[in-house]
Structure 1
Amino acid sequence: MPEMENARLSIVEDVPVPKQLLATAKFNSPWEQVKWEKSLPQNDRTQPQYSATSKQNQSGGIVRSASLSTRRVARPRPATRPQSNPPELHSWENIRRSAFLKPPATVPENEPITPIKESFISPKSTPTNSQFNSRRSSMYEVYEKAKVRGVALHRKYWVRLLFEYSLYTLLILFVYFVLVGMPLWKGAVWWLYWVVQTKFVIQGGYAITIGLAALYAFLPLLILFEKDPPPKPEDSDFDLEKNDSNVKSTALIIPCYKSATIIGPTLKAALEIFPPKNIFVIANGNSETPLDNTEEVCRPYGVNHLWVPVGSKIVAQFAGCYAAKGFENVLLIDDDCALPPNFPIVSDRLNGKVKCVGYTIKSVGPNSSKGTFCQQAQDLEYKMSGLQRAFFGKLGSATFPHGAISIWNTEFLKQTFYEHPGFSVSEDWFFGDSCRRLGGRITMCSSVFVETETPSSVFFSGSGSRGGFGEMTIFQQRFKRWNFFFVVGMYYDLKYIMTSWKLGWWEIGAKLCVFQEVYETLIYLFAPFILPISFIVRPGFCGILLGATIGMYIVNVIIFNEIHLRLKKERISWVVLLFYYTFYKIALTVINVVSCYWSLYKYARYFAKRHPKVIEDRQAIEVILSLEQEVEHSTDENEEQLLRAQSENANAYKRLTLTRVGPDTMENWPLQSDMEQRSAHDSHSSPWI
């Protein structure tokens, strides 16, 4: 009985109390604090005894933690506890009952004990319930902040209306009183005409403008595309285990919207590289239930499927990052991107300051055809853009990876969501801006061209199979979406150039690339004034200069086509190059100029409603919390079944984090190749699909 009285009631008393925990204690007087500290267990006195016990245990093959001892030390238990502030000081009994610490009965005597301090602070320790609860509680904190922030960002209807029409009024006043001025005074346009006519040297001004354009156009031609990766042998069988070993650290995330008609070929191509468990189709839309049968289309392929009831690509990507937890890297692609069979996973390049690698893309028509002249012109444009980004990626950092495909470090990508302003338009551009401001470089992989179907015409809708948000004309694509943030983007670019220095020496090349965007936008904004005035003042010289500029760009694309694309066996036909591409680029220039002024008009309505960041979006955080709760449910109630499933079929256990689709029976498989049937059959053999 004396031994029982002196025995400890909780193993927690053997754990050293952190100073941070002591700092949270509150007392009514200094002597109460001294008395309480003296009553705490003297862990340093137990170390010699533990040390001797440890040596004895080692001879018996048992290893015990240095942070937690199961040996009960016979030392008198303190008779009293401080009772001055019970609400602030949780009792030892409450801590013992928490999920972070377990009573002695739950720790087998014949197994080693993981140090408790590791489960609290070590990022390399195996995930436990305590760490999961900690992550979940932090996400709940984000959720609560999002609810508060949502209320703060909400504007009443009359406020939005006042904001919108106030901007309209300011625009009208600016056009009249600043630009026109007549008959009250001479406006800025008149003074611009006077400067060009009397003071401005047109030849010198155009020499600087064309010189900068030539520099940005011809410098990227100094490098070549990377060599093609080794082709996949056609006569070899599809080896899922070998494929899994090559991509085991990378998840493929495919956000999609009403993509049932086009997601099938994308998944078919992806399964040549990724096992089904690595593929996450994140369907989204503003509806509680799916908007089409994308889930049924995904079923035969055995991939992961998640429905996100928020119509936003960036929210779908945000949910995909958390759905693919456990993967070190994520590859983001559009729903119409067909990965080539020899597609390289360049996750080894994600080291140091390189946090994102984009891929060069190519434009195709339906069923991977060359498509119309418009699609072939876009093909040339996309490939030139890829070489330019590869060039600036070597100098410092590309401005942003193409939204169609890029690979990211998962944890860093999550950080970018905290910096991303949350705009649903041009979300890929803001990903690049956030990446660079966080100190991450963006480079390019140019060894392959990833296919993506593009609009088939410039102004009038043609044939095509683009689904979801896929526009059928270039005008709709660029005028309404791509160019929307051209003017606002100048603010972010200038802010980055002036304030961001986290890339070190790499900032020089990165800022040169960013300045190109500012320079081009300024040309678009001033072109409606400078060009007419220049033609009025010096029509002959300006006509010759305009023709020389067009000729310079033709020479540029000929060199690119005959050297760079010839080496890649991706040349464009001369008919498209000489006759169609020139008029195509002129049409795009007009679209870009007009879209800048159209966006200035549309900003009034767009910014009348305040836009939260992704982490401030209550609905987006609710999606993440639902995923976390599903993980907890599968961990608590199905732990034994989960372990058994991992041992029986390692390809299935990650699907427990998602709403899953499973393959149908053999009779209903819409797959043609033996490879696809084997892949689906492997998934079908698991009871957890």
Structure 2
Amino acid sequence: MADDNIRDSIVEDVLIPKELLTTAKFNSPWELARWEQSLPDNNRISIPAPRPRTSSNRPLSLSALRAVARPRSAIRPRGCSDPPNFQGNPFDYFAKPATYEPASPIPEKEPITPVQNAFLSPPPSSNASSPTISSEQSSLQEVYEKAKLRGVAIQRKHWVRLLFEYSIYLFLVLFVYFVLVGMPLWKGAVWWLYYVIRTKFVIQGGYAITIGLAALYAFCPLMILFEKDPQPSSETAPQSESPDLEGNMSNVESTALLIPCYKSATIIEPTLKAALEIFPKKNIFVIANGNSKTPLDNTEEVCKPYGVNHLWVPIGSKIVAQFVGCYAAKDFENAVLIDDDCLLPPNFPVVSDRLKGTVKCLGYTIKSVGPNSSKGTFCQQAQDLEYKMSGIQRAFFGKIGSATFPHGAISLWNIEFLKQTFHEHPGFSVSEDWFFGDACRRLGGRITMCSQVFVETETPASVFFSGSGSRGGFGEMTIFQQRFKRWNFFFVVGMYYDLKYILTSWKLGWWEFGAKLCVFQEVYETLIYLFAPFVLPISFVVRPSFCGMLLGVTIGMYIINVIIFNEIHLRLKRERVDWKVLLFYYTFYKIALTVINVFSCYWSLYKYARYFAQRHPKVIEDRDAVEVLLSLEKDEKESEDDVIPLDGVGALGRGLGRKLTLTKVKTGKRMSTLSTSGGWI
């Protein structure tokens, strides 16, 4: 091949529609500079003299674009006045000796849609046939552009992450030695704690305060009862018959059921059967997710016979699945979020009429079951008692202020408010339900409880060793795996968010006092877990007999508490726990949980070094998550098969495929089923 035919760049003759050039927007001149610098050099292309343009003229190429100077308005940030560098002549990033003007003014056209932008295709020649951009799609596009910039801004280089991680390790080691131990250089904090407890601290008074606060938080919730069961279809009908949901019908019609799931093909079918007893199939959205461009199992095939909506989200995150589900269910006013192993009872009440005023979220009381809704093992029955006690506590705090958070297994939200919480939610994929509660309260929303029914959820079958069960997805088979590795991970960091809320948030008015009392309980419990390894051994060394007696009194107090709860509250709901579990197993179960909680706090301090070495974006700042929403919008609006990323280096370029499968049941008058499927090619 002749030298004069050798191309300087493999993309020099790629054509760009002139309409696309005029609609390009940059948030700052630095973005424009980086974009122009990425264009290839091409010294062979010369700028033609001005001549009349016709429809047959070739549009500008990437190489020719670099030589075209832009007016000052094109590089000035929107809404900002000209910086000093913009005064006089237009700012020239490349310091070229001469500037050029386009051959002729480019006529203004309608703004193109994000999908057209992705395909680099010109808009239709007729304005009448060109699609318009809805305000929601335009808003999503703005969120996507911001997410791209945010994703770049929060990225840390590999060496920075390593430096951060090992600096934290070094700090922890130095803290343990120089602050806690100190010997032989000086007397550390542990020695001084021993000295204070032995000579200055009145053990009886200190433990009186500790036990008093524990009794307050344990017995006050027993002052209320669970709500009565929903009424059956008639006063004479037995309770086992189908309930009368006529008064609930309007609430059901305006409420979507969102079911995030991960590898749930083996357990999702009973969940769907129970849900279809309450909700129409058009209201149910199964959002399967996983880090793969193709589904990880045949959950979609299981869902098809039931006619419910199914989405595949190629990001392995429950919170991202919920985020996508909110937008997929945009035609509904409210949403019930449940886990894939939750079975709604036939008399399940959709109490969306309670979402008024400051109440923005409702939790439901839950119960632990074994496989096939059985009582399960002693461990599962002990969890059943624990979950029900947690339900009455949250119901109590919901009445005097606000519960800290709804249980992650099931909750009811106003969809628009739930979308707002994603702006406050830090985006952590662990303990996402706890951070939902924190975001809700900081936005001025109360969290209350509906205790009319208990929703079944299958729980681990043993504390330390794997047992039998049908737990799917991320459902751990042991209590230790579940709580040590996930549930307790943010116990220590959560104190920062709790204290920040207690000191700075006052949007709930008078309800804040009850809400902060509930939040303080979490801070108090975490402090006990952190100080227990030091205070308890020292106390037993100083006053062994007294501390032993005090420990027995504490255990007895909690046994009396659960007996009252079981024989009064659960008896009225016909949900009593077996006496053998209550007297012979539950005490040892709670002691084991306390040990797990204490050690998990210190384990999480060690794991924070690696976890926070990489900065985590909020969900609305995650370009992958927002890109899924744009793909969803495209599938719904255009019913096309191929989804293209919004830029040349989208998720596909980073090795993350996109495949969105949506079976959308139309609401309103049109009840036909529409199936669309999209994926990267």
Into which bin does the TM-score normalised by the smaller protein fall?
A: 0.7 to 0.9
**Aligned residue type for 1:598:** W
Task: Specify the alignment match of 2:319 in structure 1.
Answer: 314
Query: Please, which of 458, 463, 472 is the counterpart of residue 468 of structure 2?
Result: 463
Task: Specify the alignment match of 1:206 in structure 2.
Answer: 207
Query: Please, which of 288, 296, 304 is the counterpart of residue 301 of structure 2?
Result: 296
SS at match of 1:172: helix
Residue 140 of structure 1 deviates from its aligned partner by 1.0
Task: Specify the alignment match of 2:417 in structure 1.
Answer: 412
Task: Specify the alignment match of 1:158 in structure 2.
Answer: 159
Query: Please, which of 339, 344, 359 is the counterpart of residue 344 of structure 2?
Result: 339
Task: Specify the alignment match of 1:168 in structure 2.
Answer: 169
Residue 239 of structure 1 deviates from its aligned partner by 11
SS at match of 2:134: helix
Looking at structure 1, the residues matched to 521 and 668 of structure 2 have their Cα atoms a distance apart, in angstroms, of 55
**Structure 1 runs (4+) greater than 3 angstroms displaced:** 84-89, 93-99, 231-246, 645-653, 655-660
Looking at structure 2, the residues matched to 461 and 352 of structure 1 have their Cα atoms a distance apart, in angstroms, of 46
Task: Specify the alignment match of 1:631 in structure 2.
Answer: 636
**Aligned residue type for 2:335:** V
**Aligned residue type for 1:161:** L
Task: Specify the alignment match of 2:220 in structure 1.
Answer: 219
**Aligned residue type for 1:166:** S
Task: Specify the alignment match of 1:66 in structure 2.
Answer: none
CA, structure 1 residues 279+647, in 2 after alignment: closer, same or farther (shift >3 Å)?
A: closer
1:571 aligns with 2:591: no
Residue 646 of structure 1 deviates from its aligned partner by 7.0
Task: Specify the alignment match of 2:147 in structure 1.
Answer: 146
**Aligned residue type for 2:671:** N
**Which stretch shifts more, 562-571 or 145-154?**
145-154
CA, structure 1 residues 97+378, in 2 after alignment: closer, same or farther (shift >3 Å)?
A: closer
Task: Specify the alignment match of 1:543 in structure 2.
Answer: 548
**Aligned residue type for 1:574:** W
The answer to whether the 8 Å contact 2:635/2:678 transfers is: no
Task: Specify the alignment match of 2:611 in structure 1.
Answer: 606
Query: Please, which of 584, 589, 597 is the counterpart of residue 584 of structure 1?
Result: 589
Query: Please, which of 385, 388, 395 is the counterpart of residue 400 of structure 2?
Result: 395
Task: Specify the alignment match of 1:472 in structure 2.
Answer: 477
Residue 242 of structure 1 deviates from its aligned partner by 9.7
Cα deviation code 1:577-615 (max 9, x no counterpart) = 000000000000000000000000000011111111001
**Aligned residue type for 1:253:** L
The answer to whether the 8 Å contact 2:498/2:519 transfers is: yes
CA, structure 1 residues 219+245, in 2 after alignment: closer, same or farther (shift >3 Å)?
A: closer
Looking at structure 1, the residues matched to 678 and 176 of structure 2 have their Cα atoms a distance apart, in angstroms, of 54
RMSD between aligned residues: 3.1
Looking at structure 1, the residues matched to 254 and 424 of structure 2 have their Cα atoms a distance apart, in angstroms, of 25
Aligned residues: 543
Query: Please, which of 517, 523, 536 is the counterpart of residue 528 of structure 2?
Result: 523
Task: Specify the alignment match of 2:289 in structure 1.
Answer: 284
**Aligned residue type for 2:360:** K
1:426 aligns with 2:431: yes
CA, structure 1 residues 652+432, in 2 after alignment: closer, same or farther (shift >3 Å)?
A: farther
Question: Which structure 1 residue ranges, 5 or more long, are not aligned?
Answer: 1-83, 100-104, 107-128, 636-644, 661-689
**Aligned residue type for 2:278:** I
Cα deviation code 1:138-192 (max 9, x no counterpart) = 2111111111111111112111111111100000000000000000000000000
Looking at structure 2, the residues matched to 492 and 534 of structure 1 have their Cα atoms a distance apart, in angstroms, of 31
Task: Specify the alignment match of 2:567 in structure 1.
Answer: 562
Looking at structure 2, the residues matched to 222 and 239 of structure 1 have their Cα atoms a distance apart, in angstroms, of 30
SS at match of 2:453: strand
CA, structure 1 residues 238+341, in 2 after alignment: closer, same or farther (shift >3 Å)?
A: closer
Cα deviation code 1:642-666 (max 9, x no counterpart) = xxx979974346x568889xxxxxx
The answer to whether the 8 Å contact 1:355/1:441 transfers is: yes
1:651 aligns with 2:671: yes
The answer to whether the 8 Å contact 2:266/2:472 transfers is: yes
SS at match of 1:399: coil
**Aligned residue type for 1:160:** R
The answer to whether the 8 Å contact 2:141/2:630 transfers is: yes
Question: Which structure 2 residue ranges, 5 or more long, are not aligned?
Answer: 1-70, 79-104, 114-126, 641-664
Looking at structure 2, the residues matched to 658 and 409 of structure 1 have their Cα atoms a distance apart, in angstroms, of 29
1:239-250 aligned at under 5 Å gives the runs 245-250=250-255
The answer to whether the 8 Å contact 2:335/2:415 transfers is: yes
Residue 526 of structure 1 deviates from its aligned partner by 0.2
CA, structure 1 residues 658+223, in 2 after alignment: closer, same or farther (shift >3 Å)?
A: farther
Residue 574 of structure 1 deviates from its aligned partner by 0.8
TM-score, normalised to structure 1, is 0.75
Task: Specify the alignment match of 1:663 in structure 2.
Answer: none
Looking at structure 2, the residues matched to 432 and 238 of structure 1 have their Cα atoms a distance apart, in angstroms, of 31
SS at match of 1:443: strand
Task: Specify the alignment match of 2:27 in structure 1.
Answer: none
The answer to whether the 8 Å contact 2:398/2:446 transfers is: yes
Looking at structure 2, the residues matched to 455 and 647 of structure 1 have their Cα atoms a distance apart, in angstroms, of 38
Task: Specify the alignment match of 2:180 in structure 1.
Answer: 179
The answer to whether the 8 Å contact 1:243/1:275 transfers is: no
Query: Please, which of 267, 276, 291 is the counterpart of residue 271 of structure 1?
Result: 276
Looking at structure 2, the residues matched to 346 and 143 of structure 1 have their Cα atoms a distance apart, in angstroms, of 34
1:448 aligns with 2:453: yes
TM-score, normalised to structure 2, is 0.75
Looking at structure 1, the residues matched to 187 and 361 of structure 2 have their Cα atoms a distance apart, in angstroms, of 51
Q: State percent identity of aligned pairs.
A: 80
Residue 341 of structure 1 deviates from its aligned partner by 0.4
SS at match of 2:331: coil
